A = this chain, B = another copy of it.
């Protein structure tokens, strides 16, 4: 069995997607699912599904029925959420993501605990478990709530300086949604560039239509 830390980014992405799907279908589908169905539902190939599950040591396969759904979820959990809980904050509000993270995301080991934005006035307006702070309280809020992952969603002009504050407060993981690439030594940064995605979509859409 490979060392888990050696898993590539692609494998981790697929594992995350398998799990999202399995969690959604857990109660409506049967107790088993085969690599062919999982392939169709996630977009990965059958071979990738089987290889990924082998890699993480998912043992419950039944050569005729496929894999046991709950065991597969447990196996992925063991890889993706191996240590303590992850406490997450949104910096720069984004209603759509907030809804997703609060109401659709079933992973209890990764929890949204704070939102920092321009509009919040006080020092921590609560809504359930979720604290809402003004931008000025980022440092304080991150430290007090022990935030270790941030989803950064501010205008490009503020990206770098905001990221610096966040990192100074102790965060070591950032999902950067703004179209300014971040690269900070010692911090894992996942850059999501919406502009790139738009331009990619227009490019390939056009080639499909015209060629």
Residues of A within 8 A of B (CB): 4-5, 7, 9, 12-13, 16-17, 20, 24, 41-43, 79-83, 86, 88, 92-97, 99-101, 103-105, 107, 110, 148-149, 151, 153-156, 172-175, 177-179, 181, 183, 186, 188-211
Contact = CB atoms under 8 A, between A and B. Distances in A.
A41 B182 CA distance: 9
Nearest to A171: B205
A9 B202 CA distance: 12
| Copies of this chain | 2
Contacts of A205: 148-149, 172-173, 188
Given A172-B205, A204-B9, A208-B172, A179 B100 contact: yes
B88 A177 contact: no
A5 B178 contact: no
| Centre residue among A20, A99, A193, A206 by max chain B CB count within 10 A | A206
Given A17-B181, A82-B206, A199 B151 contact: no
A199 to B, nearest CB: 4
Nearest to A173: B205
A155 B195 contact: no
